[in-house]
Every structure is written in structure tokens, then in C-alpha cells.
């Protein structure tokens, strides 16, 4: 059982929790993830680590309420426990030989982008961050990003805060002006990562994307999180849990991952409705 030491609502659908897990807090590197189960009958879901405090022994997770499990997790309060919390899983983000970096976060993906931006800031790289949200109410971690960025651009789809438009607009402008980062990191919705990759392609800037497919065990055993990479025309199967979650954006078949992630849409819609009803009844 793992104690929820702190809980904070970042926006109406995004919650932050600090979980007591000293072994994980000691080991976790930016880009790695954990797998949790809320209760004894729960499913296993992966969440990327949003930060950790090795001295306090806590691991920060930030999640959006998208279905039954995240809704149940959100109902847990500070001082309560979650059943299982395993990690740190996956390979840490590669930071070697990068002096100038552009980090792009979309929506709740910003939670994962932040520790990567902070790590590059700590390593004295020149950090540009572009973070995008649907509207002003959904903006998270603005101050945190500002603190670790040499330049920060905030975008909203409707222009209600920051600049109007999606994250690829300032990226394209930047690249067209000849401001070439050594590498771009894109973390957020699949469609955002896909279009970031397409935007960067004509400029030949390397793009790393953080993949978040459906997972069960997170140790390579089930093969559920597999994705197809195109390496010089050769199709190669990789497992996001042990080979990723970071991949070369130019190699990933995004359409395939998008399709696979929708495999259980119907089931999840029912489960979500059921859980909503359950909590309404209890209130």
C-alpha cells in the first residue's frame, strides 16, 4: 500500500499527487514511468513520473481524469492509500550531447515535459519550451516551466491565454528563422506529436516523442504496448515499456498507435459511466 502524501487539483480535470515510494524516488530519472493499481480489483495503468523528491521519498504523478481508473484515483484523498505503485519503468530520456533543446508539451503531457525541461536546465542547456492547452482554464505548470526555460511560449487553441494556435505554429516560425535546436522533445496527444514530427521534418531536426500506449505489466511480458518502427524501410516491433517510452519521432507509426489506443473505447465508456454512477450514489 502506498500513501498519498499530498494532493492538489491543477485544473478541473487534472490532479497532482505525491506518493510515498522511497525506492522509486531514489531511482527515477526524467522520462521514466510507474504503473499503479488504485484498488485490489483495479486495472494496471502507466503514468509518467512528473518529478520526485528522493529525500522525502515521494514520487509526483499528474493525471487527467479520462476514464474509470483515473476517476477512482482522483477520488482518493491525501492520507489515503493506493494498492500498487511500481517503477521506475522504461528507459530515461537521453540528455547527452544536447546543448540547445526545444521541449513541446501538450495538455496533460506538460506534466511529463516538465521534468525533462528541468533536467536540461540543470545541465545548463539552452531550453525553449512551447506548451499548449485548449483554453485558459486548462493551463497547468506555467510558473514551473517559466522557471526552467530560457524562453517559454504558451499557446491556447482559442487564444484565451498566451498566443492563439497550436504548438506547431511557433515551432515552425522558429525553425524557419534558422533557430535550430539540437533536438526537439514532443510530449502530449498523439496527434500533436505526429504533427510536431511532420513540422520538424523539412528542417532535419531530430525529434524524440514519448509514447503512452495501453500497457499491463510494464516489464515487457505481455507485448500489449508494442509499436511498429520504420527503420530504413524495415518494420521493427518495439515494446514501449522496456524499449521506450521515448522513440525517434520519424520512425513511429503514429496512426497505428492511435488506432490501437482506441481498441477498448466502448468498454471504457461503459466502465466510466458505471464509475460515475457509483460515486454519485455514494455522495
Partner 1 sequence: MTVIEKRTPMIIQDADERIHNFSEVALGYDEESALKEAHRCLHCVNHPCISGCPVNIRIPDFIEKIKNGEFEEAYKIISESSSLPAICGRVCPQEKQCEANCTLGIRYEPVAIGRLERFVADLHNRNDSNNTIKREFNDHSVAIVGSGPSGLACAGDLIRKGYKVTIFEALHTPGGVLVYGIPEFRLPKEIVKKEIDNLQRMGVEIRTDIVIGKTLTIDELCEMGFEAVFVGSGAGLPRFMNIPGESLKGVYSANEFLTRTNLMKAYKEDSDTPIMKGGVVTVVGGGNVAMDAARTALRLNAEKVYIVYRRSENELPARKEEIEHAKEEGVEFKLLNNPVEIIGCSDTEDPGYGFVKGIKCVKMELGEADESGRRSPVEIPGSEYIIDTDTVIMAIGNTPNPLIRNSTEGLETNKMGGLIINEDGMTSKEGVFAGGDAVTGAATVISAMGAGKKAVEGIDKYLRNR
Per CB under 8 A, the list member of 259, 273, 278, 279 interacting with partner 1 is 259
Does 191 engage in binding with partner 1 (CB under 8 A)? no
Does 216 engage in binding with partner 1 (CB under 8 A)? yes
Does 165 engage in binding with partner 1 (CB under 8 A)? no
Neighbour-count burial of 52, counting CB atoms closer than 10 A to its CB (0-12 exposed, 13-18 middle, 19+ buried):
buried
Does 9 engage in binding with partner 1 (CB under 8 A)? no
Alpha carbon 280 to chain centroid distance? 29
- Torsion angle of the four alpha carbons 234, 237, 238, 239, in this order, in degrees rounded to the nearest 10: 170
C-beta of 177 vs 235, nearer to partner 1: 235
Per CB under 8 A, the list member of 3, 228, 248, 250 interacting with partner 1 is 228
**Euclidean distance between CA atoms 79 and 62, whole angstroms:** 17
Q: How many residues bind partner 1 (CB under 8 A)?
A: 43
Among candidates 41, 39, 58, 42, which has minimal Cα distance to 50? Answer: 58
Give the bridge partners for 126, in sequence order.
100
* Residues in contact with partner 1, shown as a per-residue x/- string from 38 to 77 under the rule CB under 8 A: ---xxxx-----------------------xx--------
Binding piece for partner 1, criterion CB under 8 A, among 84-92, 130-138, 155-163, 166-174: 84-92
Does 3 engage in binding with partner 1 (CB under 8 A)? no
Per CB under 8 A, the list member of 6, 144, 157, 217 interacting with partner 1 is 217
Nearest approach, Cβ of 6 to partner 1 (angstroms)?
21
C-beta of 158 vs 256, nearer to partner 1: 256
Does 144 engage in binding with partner 1 (CB under 8 A)? no
Does 89 engage in binding with partner 1 (CB under 8 A)? yes
| Distance (Å) of CA 102 to CA 200, 213, 225 | 11, 24, 27
- Torsion angle of the four alpha carbons 236, 238, 243, 247, in this order, in degrees rounded to the nearest 10: 70
Q: Contact, 38 vs 25, CB < 8 A?
A: no
Does 223 engage in binding with partner 1 (CB under 8 A)? yes
| Distance (Å) of CA 120 to CA 94, 101, 148, 243, 244 | 10, 8, 8, 22, 19
Residues near 115 by beta carbon (within 8 Å), at least 6 away in sequence: 30, 31, 49, 50, 51
Does 277 engage in binding with partner 1 (CB under 8 A)? no
Per CB under 8 A, the list member of 66, 123, 191, 263 interacting with partner 1 is 263
Nearest approach, Cβ of 221 to partner 1 (angstroms)?
5
Nearest approach, Cβ of 15 to partner 1 (angstroms)?
19
Amino acid at each position: 500500500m502506498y500513501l498519498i502524501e499530498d494532493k492538489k487539483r491543477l485544473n478541473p480535470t487534472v490532479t497532482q499527487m505525491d506518493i510515498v515510494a522511497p525506492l522509486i524516488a531514489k531511482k527515477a530519472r526524467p522520462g521514466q514511468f510507474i504503473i499503479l493499481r488504485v484498488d485490489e480489483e483495479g486495472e494496471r495503468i502507466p503514468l509518467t513520473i512528473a518529478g520526485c523528491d528522493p529525500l522525502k521519498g515521494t514520487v509526483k504523478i499528474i493525471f487527467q481524469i479520462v476514464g474509470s481508473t483515473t476517476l477512482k484515483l482522483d477520488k482518493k484523498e491525501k492520507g489515503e492509500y493506493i494498492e500498487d505503485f511500481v517503477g521506475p519503468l522504461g528507459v530515461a530520456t537521453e540528455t547527452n550531447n544536447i546543448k540547445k533543446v526545444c521541449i513541446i508539451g501538450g495538455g496533460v503531457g506538460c506534466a511529463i515535459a516538465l521534468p525533462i525541461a528541468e533536467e536540461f536546465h540543470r545541465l545548463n542547456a539552452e531550453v525553449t519550451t512551447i506548451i499548449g492547452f485548449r483554453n485558459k482554464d486548462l493551463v497547468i505548470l506555467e510558473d514551473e516551466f517559466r522557471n526552467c526555460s530560457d524562453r517559454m511560449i504558451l499557446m491556447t487553441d482559442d487564444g484565451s491565454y498566451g498566443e492563439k494556435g497550436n504548438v506547431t505554429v511557433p515551432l515552425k516560425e522558429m525553425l524557419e528563422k534558422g533557430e535550430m535546436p539540437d533536438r526537439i522533445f514532443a510530449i502530449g496527444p498523439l496527434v500533436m506529436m505526429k504533427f510536431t514530427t511532420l513540422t520538424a521534418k523539412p528542417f532535419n531536426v531530430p525529434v524524440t516523442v514519448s509514447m503512452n500506449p495501453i500497457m499491463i505489466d510494464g516489464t515487457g511480458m505481455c507485448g500489449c504496448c508494442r509499436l511498429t518502427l520504420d527503420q530504413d524501410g524495415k518494420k521493427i516491433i518495439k515494446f514501449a515499456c522496456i524499449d521506450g517510452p521515448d522513440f525517434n519521432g520519424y520512425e513511429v507509426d503514429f496512426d497505428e498507435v492511435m488506432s490501437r489506443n482506441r481498441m477498448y473505447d466502448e468498454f471504457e465508456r461503459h466502465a466510466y459511466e458505471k464509475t460515475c454512477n457509483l460515486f454519485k450514489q455514494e455522495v
